[in-house]
């Protein structure tokens, strides 16, 4: 009886045809494009013995790199969430001259080769650069510090947040706001109690995407961070490149593996938050 | 759609093969700063080869960090010849059995048609009065040099300084470490590669002195004669970029003869002269003397063999927990 049920569950007749074909293609693509490379990372890193592995990933400079990568990506993603929301709001709610152009500009960080972005940012923010010069007078050193690193991550992460929020904001029924207004809610209350909860899942998605991108970023970061082990401005992807340059695949993949695991859990956590969130909104 | 795409791909492949029978194509996998030189040299060689053998030859070049270029050849980039920054990078390819052993005696001067060394590039006027390595350890001097742990080329900068310290302190290792520690604590920006460091120094205006390859320094001064000058330290290191035929690929592509001619011709008078013009030291002594006003021939040059050979140096200085980590406080 039970077995029959399970069988029925697996071989359910579907209303929409083409399940076998599309699922097959999905699995094939996933295996070749994502799973296979990930498994080879695992296989390569197993060339180290567990003690070697442990000793490697707990080295001071590598731990520092993990700290720097995660900290800067998290800060950059938070800042992106804040400004991304404002940007999306402006693009969705108002009509103004050049709106389309501004909308198109958002995607530029995607299209620009990251190394170009990195070199440009480091020049702009170095203490002889256009933005760096006035900031130096204020006592702020941006290029070759963690601050510069975070700015590079903000640059590459902003499109993720804006593009995640935009469609949700577009589809947000204005009746909710009207109802809140009629019921006498203040503007701030309307925003925090009505609009923000609706945006929260999209914000979390944007945060997750920007964070994931930031943590693996290489090109734009290495030119502006200064890569100093002493000032702890080395990121994980830089350490991995160091290992690769000496053809040390095992260490490089071992560090990558730890990074993957950390990222996976952080993203999983974000996903769980999101699920809780949508459950709560659906129950109300 | 997929069929259409594969058809296009197949027909491209066919065209490519047909070309190869009419015309020899060789691929030269090289490292970053040689780009301009090989553009000029390839033209010279293509003409020479057509005149002497009657075959048309086309040289495809590829450039990048020397270590990663070696890696790409090992991983299957179809290079016919490699012209890399370090003999060690070619040894890595040899270990993957793509280059036959004994490659370093296949051509003259240990298969190094040109050499280079490490010099200091300072801003015009040399405000901090930098003359030699010990001036770099002075307080208030800001140095730009790439990270030896991520760039093979940057190891030379470290080794040159280390050799100077050895001479200065009669090989007392503790004093040498202190000296290098002081020197590296003056490094304000550590880029991942030589080109990045040049950009930081020249474009972003960071630092008082760039520890640089002589050819890069010469190029910068030629480009901005009013802004920079080259300072030659009393002691430096002789870098011997090496060349080799990737036998495995050359045999497969039937380009062995052209590849050999390509590397041999680097030692010809015309090519040696061109090498000098592009800021590398020609291996031919007579040609080198012609450039005595361009290169400071009085620098005392040590080689990596004086320090025990590349493998030894790598183990001693640059692995995790090596001397570099120790002095840099990693």
Does A3 reside within a domain?
no
Of the partner residues A129, A222, A230, the one whose CB lies closest to the CB of residue B204: A129
Phi, psi of B264 (to 5 degrees): -65, -40
Break chain B into its structural domains and give their ranges. 2-112+240-267, 116-239+299-328
Query: Residues of B with CB below 8 A from A241's CB?
Result: 150, 192
Q: Do A229 and B328 touch (CB under 8 A)?
A: yes
pLDDT at A12: 62
Asked whether residue A40 is domain-assigned, the answer is no
> Of A70-74, A152-156, A241-245, B247-251, which gets the smallest average pLDDT?
A241-245
Q: Chain A closest CA to B330's CA: distance in Å?
A: 6
CA distance B99 to B91: 8
User: Any idea what DSSP says for residue A187?
Assistant: H
Dist. CA A66–CA A259, nearest whole Å: 8
In this prediction, residues A220-243 reach a mean pLDDT of 87
Domain count, chain A: 1
CATH code at B2-112+240-267:
3.40.190.10
Residues in chain B with pLDDT values less than 70: 1-22, 329-330
CB atoms within 10 A of CB B19: 12
Which residues in chain A touch residue B330, judged by CB atoms under 8 angstroms apart? 60-61, 229-230
- Can you give the pLDDT at residue B195? 80
Task: Note the ipTM here.
Answer: 0.71
Is residue A283 over pLDDT 70? no
Which of B228, B30, B65, B227 is CA-nearest to residue B149? B65
Task: Show the CA angle centred on residue B243, arms to residues B240 and B248, nearest 5°.
Answer: 145
Residue in A135, A149, A240, A247 to test binding to B, most B beta-carbons within 10 Å? A247
CATH T-level topology, domain B116-239+299-328? D-Maltodextrin-Binding Protein; domain 2 (3.40.190)
- B320 CB neighbours in chain A (<8 A) are 56, 59, 251
Q: Which of B151, B205, B330 sits opposite A60 (nearest CB)?
A: B330
What is the per-residue pLDDT for A242?
Answer: 84
* Pairwise CB contact (< 8 Å): A128 & B196: no
CB contact (8 A) between residue A228 and residue B190:
yes
Confidence of residue A86 (pLDDT cuts 50, 70, 90): very high
Nearest CB neighbour to A230, from listed B70, B205, B329? B329
CA distances from B288 to B40, B41, B105, B237 (A): 19, 18, 21, 17
Judge: A244–B188 Cβ closer than 8 Å, yes or no.
Answer: no
User: What average pLDDT score do residues A14-38 get?
Assistant: 89
Q: What is the 3-state secondary structure (H, E, C) of B60-127?
A: EEECCCHHHHHHHHHCCCCCCEEEECCHHHHHHHHHCCCCCCCHHHCCHHHHCCEEEEEEEEEECCCC
Distance from CA of A231 to the nearest CA of B (A): 10
Report the candidate in B118, B200, B207, B154 with the shortest Cα–Cα distance to residue B328.
B154
Contacts B65 to A, Cβ<8 Å: 245
> Which chain A residue shows the shortest CA-CA distance from B184?
A230
- A26 part of a folded domain: no
Question: How much is the average pLDDT of A16-22?
Answer: 87
Which residues of chain B make contact with A143, given a CB cutoff of 8 A?
204
CATH no. for residue A270? 1.10.3720.10
Q: How many Å lie between the alpha carbon of B149 and the closest alpha carbon of chain A?
A: 6
Q: A52-67 pLDDT, tens per residue? A: 899 888 888 899 999 9
Q: Whole-model pTM?
A: 0.80
Of B68, B188, B328, the CB nearest to A244: B68
Mean per-residue pLDDT for A261-270? 90
Q: Residue A180 is part of which domain span?
A: 49-283
- Under an 8 A CB cutoff, do A246 and B151 touch? no
Q: Which of B92, B147, B204 has its CB closest to that of A128?
A: B204
Establish if A144 belongs to a structural domain: yes
């Amino acid at each position: 009886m039970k077995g029959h049920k399970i069988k029925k569950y697996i071989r359910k007749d579907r209303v929409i045809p083409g399940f076998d074909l599309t699922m097959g293609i999905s699995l094939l693509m996933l295996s070749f494009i994502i799973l296979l490379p990930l498994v080879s990372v695992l296989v390569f890193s197993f060339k180290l013995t567990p003690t070697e592995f442990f000793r490697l990933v707990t080295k001071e400079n590598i731990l520092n790199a993990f700290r720097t990568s995660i900290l800067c990506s998290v800060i950059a993603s938070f800042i992106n969430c804040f400004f991304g929301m404002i940007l999306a709001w402006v693009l969705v709610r108002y009509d103004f001259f050049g709106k389309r152009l501004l909308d198109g500009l958002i995607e530029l960080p995607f299209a620009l080769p990251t190394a170009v972005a990195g070199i440009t940012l480091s020049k702009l923010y170095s203490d002889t650069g256009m933005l760096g010069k006035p900031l130096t007078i204020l006592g702020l050193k941006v290029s070759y510090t963690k601050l510069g690193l975070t700015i590079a991550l903000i640059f590459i992460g902003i499109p993720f947040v804006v593009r995640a929020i935009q469609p949700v904001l577009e589809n947000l029924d204005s009746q909710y706001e009207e109802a809140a207004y009629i019921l006498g809610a203040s503007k701030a209350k309307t925003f925090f109690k009505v609009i923000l909860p609706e945006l929260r899942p999209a914000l979390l998605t944007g945060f997750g995407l920007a964070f994931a991108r930031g943590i693996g970023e290489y090109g734009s970061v290495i030119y502006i961070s200064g890569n100093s082990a002493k000032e702890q401005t080395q990121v994980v992807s830089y350490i991995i490149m160091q290992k690769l340059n000496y053809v040390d695949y095992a260490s490089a993949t071992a560090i990558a593996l730890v990074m993957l695991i950390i990222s996976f859990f952080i993203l999983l956590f974000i996903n769980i938050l999101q699920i809780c969130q949508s459950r709560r909104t659906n129950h109300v | 759609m997929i069929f259409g795409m594969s058809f296009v791909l197949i027909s491209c492949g066919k065209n490519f093969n047909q070309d190869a029978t009419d015309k020899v194509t060789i691929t030269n996998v090289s490292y970053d700063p040689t780009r301009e030189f090989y553009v000029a040299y390839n033209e010279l060689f293509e003409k020479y080869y057509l005149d002497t053998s009657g075959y048309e030859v086309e040289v495809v070049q590829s450039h990048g960090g020397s270590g990663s270029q070696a890696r790409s050849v090992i991983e299957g980039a179809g290079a016919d010849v490699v012209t890399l920054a370090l003999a060690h990078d070619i040894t890595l390819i040899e270990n993957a059995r793509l280059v036959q052993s004994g490659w370093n005696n296949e051509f003259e001067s240990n298969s190094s048609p040109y050499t280079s060394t490490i010099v200091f590039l300072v801003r015009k006027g040399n405000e901090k009065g930098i003359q030699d390595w010990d001036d770099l350890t002075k307080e208030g001097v800001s140095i730009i040099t790439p990270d030896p742990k991520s760039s093979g080329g940057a190891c030379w900068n470290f080794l040159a300084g280390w050799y100077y310290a050895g001479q200065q302190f009669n090989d007392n290792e503790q004093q040498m470490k202190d000296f290098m520690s002081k020197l590296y604590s003056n490094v304000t920006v550590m880029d991942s590669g030589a080109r990045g460091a040049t950009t930081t120094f020249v474009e972003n205006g960071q630092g008082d002195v760039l520890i640089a390859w002589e050819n890069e320094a010469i190029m910068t001064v030629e480009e901005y004669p009013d802004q920079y000058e080259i300072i030659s330290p009393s002691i430096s290191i002789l870098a011997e970029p090496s060349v080799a035929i990737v036998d495995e690929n050359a045999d497969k592509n039937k380009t062995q003869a052209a590849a050999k001619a390509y590397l041999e011709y680097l030692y010809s008078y015309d090519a040696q002269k061109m090498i000098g013009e592009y800021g590398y030291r020609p291996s031919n002594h007579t040609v080198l003397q012609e450039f005595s006003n361009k290169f400071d021939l009085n620098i005392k040059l040590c080689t990596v063999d004086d320090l025990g050979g590349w493998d030894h140096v790598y183990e001693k200085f640059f692995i995790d927990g090596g001397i570099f980590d120790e002095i840099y406080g990693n």
